[in-house]
Amino acid sequence: MASNKVYIFDTTLRDGEQVPGCKLNTTEKIELALALEELGVDIIEAGFPISSPGDFESVSQIARVIKNATVCGLSRAVEKDIVTAAQALKHAVKPRIHTGIGTSDHHIKTKFNSTREEILQRAIQCVKWARKFTDNVEFYAEDAGRTDNDYLATVIEAVINAGASTVNIPDTTGYCLPYQYGEKIAWLVNHVPNIDKAVISCHCHNDLGLATANSISGVISGARQIECTINGLGERAGNTSLEEVVMILRQHHDLGYHTDIKPQKLNPISKLVSDTMRMPVQPNKAIVGSNAFAHSSGIHQDGFLKNAINYEIINPQEVGADGSKIVLTARSGRSALAYRFLKLGYNYNRNDIDVLYNEFLKVADGKKEVEDGDLHELAEKYSVEVV
Ligand code: KIV
Ligand code: ZN
């Protein structure tokens, strides 16, 4: 029976770092790699060693300092790439070479001007080259999301025979719907005779906002590795977000899957990545956005204050966030106003709040958010009127 551990393959330092403006120097990459190891990721894709001398240096330094996680280097199906990746990973305790080639007819015809048969041979060849250096070889079938399932199954069977122990099925263009991606993984489980010799990996892009849903669908269909990034960074619209898939598997533990990620570290590492890459996190981002635990409408605030579980499925402490916030806007209600006054030391009864609420709305209609200073002013005015 397949194990229900889902391996977390973090590619923040490779697919994430490809984002314009996110480039990191070696010192920054090492700092993030150490934080990823602390977080509990199983595999760190540290970079693409042939791409530049700087990236080669970063991968080799990371390979020296990381002791528990597997350190992975990307390559194309080109011998020089693979040799360079192997050199960069020379000092890794657990090295992995990630190699592969595009398998969709789009890539075969318009990128390689080639044929399915030739690409199949190149796929087999690149795994054989990589196996000369390590027995931990991952093969990627780029644009698998748009690859014909019969042909994909042929390629995957052949690369496993050639020695790949992980097979990555990227939805490179973020094209698939969740049920289609899930069916693709199920197709491989059912049509590749040696599939039990490899771990199937999901690598989904977010062009249609479906990367997380597709990865979870892949796992339900039999994949046991998810390739993801902190804050969902990655080419174009990004990759599957690590914090989302980890928390989905935790929240829906009835599905029976688990990861080794320490959830309390999710918000701290999100901030570290955002600061280091100078890439702000959108406020409404699940798990790590500044509004992920903020309540601002009257109905939600009242229900939340009666019992947090009414409007929060995750305790912010569980994911290392600062805590829940009751934000005051013109859409807020009396319970929230009373709560915020109480936090500032004003213990008003229901009648006081009724009067203050009307004054509060006048202020709130004129600005986006009512702050503590505004509440002190309202309290001051009220005390003068009451006296
Ligand atoms: O999106 C993709 O297909 C990739 C591969 C290189 C794994 O990033
Ligand atoms: Zn990618």
Instruction: Please compute the mean of the pLDDT values over residues 171-194 and round it to a whole number.
Output: 98
Q: Rounded to the nearest whole angstrom, what is the distance from the C-alpha of residue 322 to the centroid of ligand 1?
A: 34
pLDDT exceeds 90 at position 386 = no
203 lines ligand 1 (CB under 6 A): yes
Closest CA to 335 of 383, 372, 373, 303: 303
Atom of ligand 1 nearest to the CA of 144: 3
Residues 161/193, Cβ–Cβ less than 8 Å: no
**Domain-wise residue ranges, the chain:** 7-277, 294-386
Q: What is the pLDDT of residues 243-297, one digit of tens each?
A: 999 999 999 999 999 999 999 999 999 999 999 999 999 999 999 999 999 999 9
| 7-277 CATH choice from 3.20.20.70, 1.20.120.1780, 3.50.50.60, 2.60.40.10 | 3.20.20.70
170 lines ligand 1 (CB under 6 A): yes
Q: How much is the pLDDT for 387?
A: 59
Closest CA to 61 of 40, 91, 41: 91
The DSSP bridge pattern shows strands 95-102 and 166-171 to be unpaired
Q: What is the pLDDT of residues 299-350, one digit of tens each?
A: 999 999 999 999 999 999 999 999 999 999 999 999 999 999 999 999 999 9
Q: Rounded to the nearest whole angstrom, what is the distance from the C-alpha of residue 170 to the centroid of ligand 2?
A: 7
pLDDT tier, 384 (very low <50, low <70, confident <90, very high otherwise):
confident
Q: How much is the pLDDT for 2?
A: 53
pLDDT exceeds 50 at position 35 = yes
Q: Whose CA is nearest to atom 2 of ligand 1?
A: 172
pLDDT exceeds 50 at position 210 = yes
The DSSP bridge pattern shows strands 7-10 and 43-47 to be parallel
139 lines ligand 1 (CB under 6 A): no
Distance in angstroms (rounded) separating the CA atoms of residues 185 and 149: 9
pLDDT exceeds 60 at position 1 = no
Q: Rounded to the nearest whole angstrom, what is the distance from the C-alpha of residue 374 to the centroid of ligand 2?
A: 48
Q: Which of 72, 168, 175 to mutate to test the pocket of ligand 1 (most atoms within 8 A of CB)?
A: 168
171 lines ligand 1 (CB under 6 A): no
The DSSP bridge pattern shows strands 7-10 and 225-228 to be parallel
Residues 259/6, Cβ–Cβ less than 8 Å: yes
